[in-house]
Chain A
Amino acid sequence: MNILVCLSAVPDTTTKISFVDNDSKFNTAGVQFIINPYDELALTKALELTEANGGEVTIITVGDASVEPVMRKGLAIGAHKAIRVNTEALDGMHVAKCITSAIEGESFDMILTGRESIDYNGGQVAGILSEMLNMGLVNVVTSLTVEGNTITAVRDIDGGRETVSANMPCVISAQKELCEPRIPNMRGIMQARTKPLTVVEYSDSYAETKYTGYELPPAKQGVKLIDAENAGELIDLLRTEKKIL
């Protein structure tokens, strides 16, 4: 199996978000970047599948050179090779165009992405890729098995779960529970240094959506404390003060 995993580098989940330049840019000062948690699951699942069925895992990231340490971590976890598309990721459409251009001429049995990136929360790339590449799509997947040319996946639906089957090639987006993420070991980290990381260019920086400004949610007024002895008062306040019960 030849699997492509789309890996995005995102701020560590504990990051306190702030903005600079008149709230027009995310403040990256002191921020540690990690593999998007869902992409970590996508990568681990891809490795499990190739270990069981043979094949290779390629990771691809759209971003400037600053994303390479995150990509090296992907190689240390076990990906065989990496492609970096050397341009700033502008939006989901742009990322998908960068990826399809970079893999032109190659054939993958499966493309795995995360369900969404935890920075821009688009949930876009998997669906766009499936359409551009004319592949099947199973979104938000919590379990995935492969038999011959057919995949069986369990995906989240509103109020439950659905089991779906599809033929390869297909695009799958990873949701929590898909697998236990792997942590790189010493050997992996050593090997990652010499694994191939190819840099390709993509010069078209056309995008129809542009982030113009950011805002933090309004701060809370401050907490109103209720004595535990009279805890029931909370219910009254929710009725009278907030009128939500």
Chain B
Amino acid sequence: MVLVFVETEGTSLKKASQEALTYGADLASKLNTECSAIAIGSESGLENTGAYGASKLFAVSGAGLNEFTPEGYSEAIHQVASNNNASIVLISASYTGKSIAPKVAVKLSASLTTGVVAMPNTENGFSVRKTCFSNKAFSDVEVTGEKKVISIVPNSYEIKEFDQNAEVVSSDIDVSSFIKSKSVSIDKVQGKIPLTEAELVVSAGRGLKGPENWGMIEELADVLGAATACSKPVSDMDWRPHSEHVGQTGITIKPNLYIAAGISGAIQHLAGVSSSKVICVINTDPEAPFFKAADYGIVGDAFDVIPKLIARAKELKAS
């Protein structure tokens, strides 16, 4: 069995979990086995796990699972995986997933592969493709363990819909004796599209001169329904929040569209964004290295170009 850990956001499955489930269903059919989902502690948003490919949903709750801890969650997944003979556990590389995948792998004595971006090749053994060198390359990894834990990069697998319902198997597991940390408080950025899940991203760099000039970046993002990002110096100078910093030492994203204004395109910046499907660059300097990585380029002043983009996007939206 392939077991997929899923998370909900509000009343639906997280997009990254929908992807992981589709991936799990496709992998299970390749291996002639079943795909099941496991959700911990959540009550709503799980109705449609079947539609993304799960034939069974293990809904787990119990003492110690009311809030996220790496120990509690990994133990719950471990128990369900062991009791149901899961050969592969899939975990999306969300921050939650990153904290638990290594622990689940140790508990199950399974091989661990993280950063996976494609369906395994099972023709001759089991080989998976992962990112490495901070997205400057891919590598193929041969996985030999009988059990496997695989963590998948968000936005690497296309979501499909399946015409089925998942049988719900609820269980109560007490993991309280495993827990070693406690959540004190949670601070969520409200109402914004999380950068890692965004399909469209508008980003800007030091070329914008100062934080007071981000109004037009936010407006463009707004009309397009995009998230905002920035280069490292911009977040270092506190012009923008750290959570927007993309690149080798920031967040890695692979949206369908990345618009970069006033960003030179240093190799460390590209490392975080080069897997974007379409890249548009706006820069006054025709020699800016970013143009080499771009699909569309506008050599021009962002202060002049961005308002034109906003105007055209609004026009088309209204028509």
Contacts and interface: CB of A to CB of B under 8 A. Distances in A.
Interface of A: 11, 13-17, 19, 26, 37-38, 91-93, 118-128, 130-132, 135-140, 142, 152, 155-167, 170, 176-177, 208-217, 220-221, 223-228, 231-239, 242, 244-245
Contacts of A236: 312, 316
Given A214-B139, A223-B295, A244-B200, A92 B102 contact: yes
A210 B112 CA distance: 11
Interface stretch (B23-31, B38-46, B47-55, B298-306): B298-306
29 contacts: A17-B133, A92-B102, A118-B134, A118-B249, A121-B114, A121-B132, A122-B115, A123-B93, A123-B114, A124-B112, A131-B106, A140-B95, A159-B194, A161-B186, A162-B185, A162-B186, A166-B182, A208-B111, A209-B142, A216-B137, A225-B297, A227-B298, A228-B298, A231-B308, A231-B309, A232-B308, A234-B312, A242-B277, A245-B316
Contact of B249 (A128, A130, A176): A176
B206 interface: no
A32 to B, nearest CB: 14
B102 A126 contact: yes
A228 B301 contact: yes
B99 interface: yes
Top 3 A-B pairs, shortest CB-CB distance: A127-B102, A228-B300, A232-B312
B293 to A, nearest CB: 6
B216 interface: no
A158 B188 CA distance: 8
A187 B44 CA distance: 59
A242 to B, nearest CB: 5
A227 B311 CA distance: 16
B95 A215 contact: no
Nearest to A129: B102
A210 B125 CA distance: 12
Interface residues of B, number: 94
A215 B140 CA distance: 8
Contact of A244 (B180, B275, B278): B278
A9 to B, nearest CB: 14
B2 to A, nearest CB: 18
